[in-house]
Amino acid sequence: MSDSSPSEPALSGEGGSTWGRRVEIGLTLLILGAILVFLAATFGRTSAFAQASSGRGPFFFPRILIALLLILVPFLLAGAVRHGRALPLQKPLARMLSLIAATGAYCALIGLAGFLIASVLFAMAVPLLLGRRDVVLLAALALPYGAIVWLLFEKVFLIVLPASPWPIGF
Amino acid sequence: MDVFLLAAAQIATPLTLIAIVAGTVVGVIVGVLPGLGSVLGLTMVLPFTFSMPQIPAIALMLGVYCGSVYGGSITAIVLNTPGTPQSAATAMEGFPMAQRGEADLAIGWVTAGSTLGGLFSVLVLALAGPLLARFSLQFTPFEYFALALFAMTCIAGVSSGALAKGLMAGGLGVLISTIGADPVTGDMRFTFGSFQMTAGLGLIPVIVGLFAISEMFLRVLDLDEAKPSGAAMRVGFRLPSWVEARKRGGPLLRGSLIGSFVGALPGTGAATAAFIAYSEARRTSSRRDNFGKGEPDGLVACESANNAVTGSALVPTLALGIPGDPVTAVMLGALVIQGIAPGPMLFVDHLDLIYGIFAILVLVNLVMFATGALGAPLFTRVLRIPEPILIGLILVISTVGAYGVNGSLFDVWIAFGAGVVGALIRYFGYPVAPVVIGMVLGPTLEMSLRQGLILGRGDPTVFLERPITVALLLITAAILIWPLVRYLRARLG
């Protein structure tokens, strides 16, 4: 990951604040969108028993809640417009996004290759992504750590962790 | 007498004693590492509790809780960087002491102060818990609704500078809690056609995501910043002389009282208690000129306060089933997984468990003292673990925590999603604690509102006929309106 060069806009300072404001406004609008999706879902079909309930049915409380949340949205938008937090610099932001992607891949790999294999690979991959290059040390840490966690949960606490599809016992 | 004997028998098992020691040591280590905090420590040990019996599971959680509150003070003294927010005040007196070569004495002061403050809070829990539980047996759905609303508003208002963001976070937490089957009619809500959503979003996976996973995502933003190393500081343990200790009885007692009171209030925690106690010690001390230069009065006050919170915070959690902060919310979730239903009936039907918790807390505080005395030099070595490696290891154990509740990969994805959302909203100043509290209190809020309306035959004014309910609603309204009044006064004044 390279540091931002003079030709690329930095994501801090004035420009960063503007982008930060935009992202925060986008986040607020995303929250608003999620609230509206929930609101739309409250107009689904309900049972006759629910409609007759003087506890006012299953969507009575959510609708009150959603109405209160919608009242808050303008205040949040006003705050986002007035005060923008600068976005992180490119390098740390790219690092964070790559860690998020790696964690997502790890979650998917657990289901495909089993907990132990996925965890050992992930425990090695994260420090490599974050700049470490001592592969031997990372392997020496990741293998026993993954194995200990797996043993503890599978054999001691009897919490069955996802296994790999291959007949290797883990 | 039988109850005492039963509680003692439950504690005196090898597994419980191992859980106390292990939990305390893990808690201290978590506390020493800056930025991790008690909630992350609890979420990391949570999966270990799933298959443990009740008492050892509770012992493990309480050990981590108390240990992490204390552990942050070691880093505060050695590095001038509090390991946990609760220890921020400790750094103000502890680091100057360390700079003049008295790090071992500072650690001795905080270890003694934390232990005595923690033991004091057990006394408060033992006295106040049953009283509050007995009092709350009179509570009807009206009181529970007002109390849950009051707790939510306090937490939303106190946990961040922006009330609107706190309220939105809390509201979203309550909204998430409505996903799944309606508790009254059984109708499915907000499942969006997904079978897995019919059981709602699990509290534990969301906590793991919002606190542990999002914290790791955000930490990589600061990896390039130079961080102080404790390698050069000689760390030991030395208790003060009896003559010096006797002079600090006042700050110790005041700190313990402040911590016990503040801990029982929703929305406030050990950090608030520590700063209030520190300010009070500074105001009343005859050695106030020494404050800021390494005055033990300040150390004893804030450390006794922040550990005095640990027992008293359990008072509303156990007696009412209402957590006052994310730490007790995690503990409440763990108790529910263990089949324990916090609330007033806990003090009626499970008195042996209650006395067991009292005994565990006493033991945990004593083990914490021993851990600090013997292990302080060792614990600072964990600060040498490179952060990139630590992040990977914490993410792995957090994933197990999310998976282990129901053995479901769906929960792992919930935790991941909560981690991504948590990182995004935390970066822009939204607190995540109210989301968790909202998820915990949401069912209480909704059920008590609907039960109240059923009792009142649909008439909402029936909520205003109960004095405790009205008092709590008025206080809640005042908390909501006060920022607006302050804003208008500032604009007009």
Contact B440, B203 (CB under 8 A): yes
Question: Hey, are the CB atoms on A72 and B164 less than 8 Å from each other?
Answer: yes
Query: Average pLDDT of chain B?
Result: 86
Highest mean pLDDT among A1-15, B87-101, B171-185: B171-185
* Cα–Cα nearest to B464, from B145, B135, B136, B155: B145
Is B335:B342 a contact under the CB 8 Å cutoff? yes
Q: Using CB atoms, which residue from B48, B223, B445 is nearest to A157?
A: B48
Contacts of B409 in chain A (CB under 8 A): 107, 110-111, 162
Tell me how long chain B is: 493
3-state secondary structure of A6: coil
**Main-chain dihedrals φ then ψ at residue A130, nearest 5 degrees:** -95, 10
Span B116-128, average pLDDT: 90
The domain spans of chain B are 2-492
Q: Could you give the percent of chain B with pLDDT greater than 90?
A: 28
More confident residue, B323 or B116: B116
Q: Which two tokens stand for residue A13?
A: 């300072």
Q: Sorting pLDDT into bands at 50, 70 and 90, what band is A2?
A: very low
Q: How far away is chain B from the Cα of A9, in angstroms, using its nearest Cα?
A: 18
Identify residue B202 by its one-letter amino acid code: G
CB neighbour class for B194 (10 Å; exposed up to 12, middle 13-18, buried from 19)? exposed
What pLDDT sits at residue B80?
Answer: 79
**Rounded to an integer, what distance in angstroms lies between the CA atom of residue A22 and that of residue A29?**
10
- Phi, psi of B248, rounded to the nearest 5 degrees: -100, 15
What is d(CA A50, CA B419) in angstroms, rounded to the nearest whole number? Answer: 35
Beta carbons of B433 and B325 less than 8 angstroms apart: yes
> Cβ separation of B392 and A125 shorter than 8 Å?
yes
**What pLDDT does A4 receive?**
34
CB pairs A-B closer than 8 Å: 188
Whole-model pTM over 0.80: yes
Q: Tokens standing for B62? A: 């309480």
- The type of residue at A134 is D
- Hey, which of A113-127, B128-142, B436-450, B472-486 has the most confident mean pLDDT? A113-127
Least confident of B108-122, B170-184, B274-288: B274-288
Task: Among A25, A39, A51, A126, pick the best mutation site for testing chain B contact (most B Cβ within 10 A).
Answer: A126
B221 to chain A nearest CA, in Å? 5
pLDDT tens column, A139-148: 999 999 999 9
CA distance B92 to chain A (A): 29
Asked if B299 contacts B93 with a C-beta cutoff of 8 angstroms, the reply is: yes
Mean pLDDT taken over chain A: 84
Test the B interface: residue of A17, A61, A143 with most B CBs within 10 Å: A61
Q: Which of A112-126, B6-20, B226-240 has the highest mean pLDDT?
A: A112-126
**How near does any CA of chain B get to the CA of A7, in Å?**
22
Q: How far apart are CA B382 and CA B251, in angstroms?
A: 31
Among B26, B177, B187, which would you mutate to test the A interface (most chain A Cβ atoms within 10 Å of its Cβ)? B187
| pLDDT given at position B159 | 59
| Closest Cβ–Cβ partner in B172, B220, B400 for A99 | B220
Q: pLDDT confidence of A9, banded at 50, 70, 90?
A: very low
Of B479 and B266, the structure prediction assigns the larger pLDDT to: B479
| Average confidence (pLDDT) over A77-99 | 88
Query: In a 3-state reduction of DSSP, which class is residue B181?
Result: strand
Q: Which two tokens stand for residue B124?
A: 């408060």
Collect all residues with Cβ–Cβ distance below 8 Å to B404 and sequence separation of at least 6: A153, A159, B46, B47, B50
In chain B, the residue whose alpha carbon lies closest to the alpha carbon of A38 is: B190
Q: Model confidence over B227-255: pLDDT tens digits?
A: 555 555 567 888 889 998 898 999 999 99
Tokens representing B232?
């050069």
Whether B184 and A53 lie within 8 Å, measured CB to CB: yes
User: Is a pLDDT exceeding 50 seen at residue B222?
Assistant: yes
Cross-chain Cβ contact B453/A56 below 8 Å: yes
Mean pLDDT calculated for residue range B71-88: 80
Is B438 within 8 Å of B172 (Cβ atoms)?
yes
> From CA B67, how far away is CA B34, in angstroms rounded?
14
Question: Who has greater pLDDT, B455 or B491?
Answer: B455
Cross-chain residue pair A161–B403, CB shorter than 8 Å: yes
**Per-residue tokens: B280:** 């009070």
**Token digits for B168?**
């939105």
**CA atoms of A147 and B125, how far apart (whole Å):** 41
What b/e readout covers B385-404, taking b as 16+ CB neighbours within 10 angstroms?
A: eebbbbbbbbbbbbbbbbbb
Segments of B54-111 assigned E as strands: none
